[in-house]
């Protein structure tokens, strides 16, 4: 009886958060998209090489953070712009990137998204990725099917690099040699590369079959946790990593179809 009750409580716990998160991410998407339509009036600051932040990033994260604090005051929060709160004391953690793909966003390109993941007891339980310009909401997790706007999704059926595009993530944290080496290996194996400026969006494109895979030597948790949950729910494969350690330190990411995953691994060796 105790086990059954505990299981039921966990299911209810996750279901309630999953439902609220879908409403919150759409509200945040509406706010971010309003900023996107009036880019000329935004205040933009630089956080470093090729790393920009705008008032849209901050205010979108504050909306999300405030909404989750109101609904789930016992949960912790870890966001790109506002940092961490209560990580040491909470079992549940919201991991958020308010606008992944800030550079495309600021240059009027639609390849940006909002990323939300929910971690419970060290497990990434579910994720949500919302691309407001295309009005596409991707969701999925351990107990939730992978869908886009309610329609089931699945990875690309291809078995080698010639069957589609592979996204290669790159940032100032990554040695240039990785980029040159991975591109050479991919092209030598009849593959073609892709990069759109948003790691989270590229990863979720793996979940729905638009891309064969995505590889990146280092990604922050807010960039990848949400999409990883969706990829795994869709039947794709992601390399293993320690979730709680990677929450604050980031991790190497190799994600793709089961058939090409081993080949993708060779790109980041």
Q: What is the CATH number of the domain that holds 105?
A: 3.30.540.10
Q: Are residues 126 and 219 in the same domain?
A: no
Q: What token pair was written down for 233?
A: 């729910």
Looking at 152, 178, 211, which one is the last position of a domain? 152
Q: Are residues 168 and 205 in the same domain?
A: yes
Looking at 152, 174, 190, which one is the last position of a domain? 152
Q: Are residues 78 and 193 in the same domain?
A: no
Q: Are residues 171 and 115 in the same domain?
A: no
Q: Is 7 helix (H, G, I), strand (E, B) or coil?
A: helix
Q: Are residues 32 and 130 in the same domain?
A: yes
Residue 253's nearest CA partner among 128, 168, 187 is 168
Which pTM does this prediction carry?
0.93
Q: Are residues 142 and 175 in the same domain?
A: no
Q: Are residues 6 and 120 in the same domain?
A: yes
Domain of 169, CATH number, reads: 3.40.190.80
Instruction: Report the 10 Å Cβ neighbour count for 233.
Output: 22
Contacts of 242 (CB under 8 A, 6+ apart): 251
Cα torsion 12, 18, 21, 26: sign: negative
Sequential pLDDT tens for the chain (269 residues) = 233 445 558 899 999 999 999 999 999 999 999 999 988 767 666 654 445 557 889 999 999 999 999 999 999 999 999 999 889 889 999 999 999 998 899 899 999 999 999 999 999 999 999 999 999 999 999 999 999 999 999 999 999 999 999 999 988 888 888 999 999 999 999 999 999 999 999 999 999 999 999 999 999 999 999 999 999 999 999 999 999 999 999 999 999 999 999 999 999 97
Helical pair 55-71 and 2-36, crossing angle rounded to 10 deg = 150
Q: Is 60 helix (H, G, I), strand (E, B) or coil?
A: helix
How far, in Å, CA of 205 to CA of 26, rounded?
19
How is 96-137 classified by DSSP, letter by letter? Answer: EEEEE-HHHHHTT-S--EEEEEEEETTEEEEEEEEEGGGTEE
Q: Are residues 47 and 107 in the same domain?
A: yes
Looking at 128, 152, 176, which one is the last position of a domain? 152
Is 254 in contact with 260 (CB distance < 8 Å)? no
Instruction: State the number of CA atoms in the 13 A half-sphere of 243 facing the CB.
Output: 20
Q: Are residues 144 and 173 in the same domain?
A: no
Is 29 in contact with 130 (CB distance < 8 Å)? yes
Q: Are residues 17 and 128 in the same domain?
A: yes
How many structural domains compose the chain?
Answer: 2
Q: Are residues 28 and 144 in the same domain?
A: yes
Domain boundaries, position 197: 161-268
Query: Residue 52's beta-bridge partner residues?
Result: 46
Q: Is 193 helix (H, G, I), strand (E, B) or coil?
A: strand
């Amino acid at each position: 009886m105790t086990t059954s009750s505990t299981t039921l409580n966990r299911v209810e716990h996750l279901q309630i958060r999953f439902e609220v998160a879908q409403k919150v991410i759409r509200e945040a998407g509406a706010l971010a998209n309003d900023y996107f339509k009036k880019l000329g009036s935004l205040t933009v600051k630089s956080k470093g090489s090729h790393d920009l932040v705008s008032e849209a990033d901050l205010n979108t994260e504050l909306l999300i953070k405030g909404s989750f604090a109101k609904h789930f005051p016992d949960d912790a929060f870890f966001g790109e712009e506002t940092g961490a709160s209560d990580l040491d004391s909470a079992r549940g953690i919201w991991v958020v990137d308010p606008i992944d793909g800030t550079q495309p966003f600021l240059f009027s390109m639609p390849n940006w998204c909002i990323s939300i993941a929910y971690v419970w007891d060290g497990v990434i339980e579910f994720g949500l990725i919302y691309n407001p310009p295309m009005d596409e909401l991707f969701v999925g997790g351990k107990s939730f099917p992978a869908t886009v706007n309610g329609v089931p999704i699945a990875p690309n059926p291809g078995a080698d690099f010639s069957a589609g595009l592979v996204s290669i993530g790159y940032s100032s944290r990554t040695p240039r040699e990785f980029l040159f080496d991975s591109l050479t290996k991919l092209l030598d194996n009849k593959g073609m590369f892709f990069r759109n400026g948003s790691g989270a969006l590229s990863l979720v494109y793996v979940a729905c079959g638009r891309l064969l895979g995505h590889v990146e030597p280092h990604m922050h948790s807010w960039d990848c946790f949400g999409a990883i949950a969706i990829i795994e729910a869709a039947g794709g494969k992601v390399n293993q990593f320690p979730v709680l350690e990677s929450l604050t330190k980031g991790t190497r990411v190799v994600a793709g179809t089961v058939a090409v995953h081993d080949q993708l691994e060779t790109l980041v060796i």
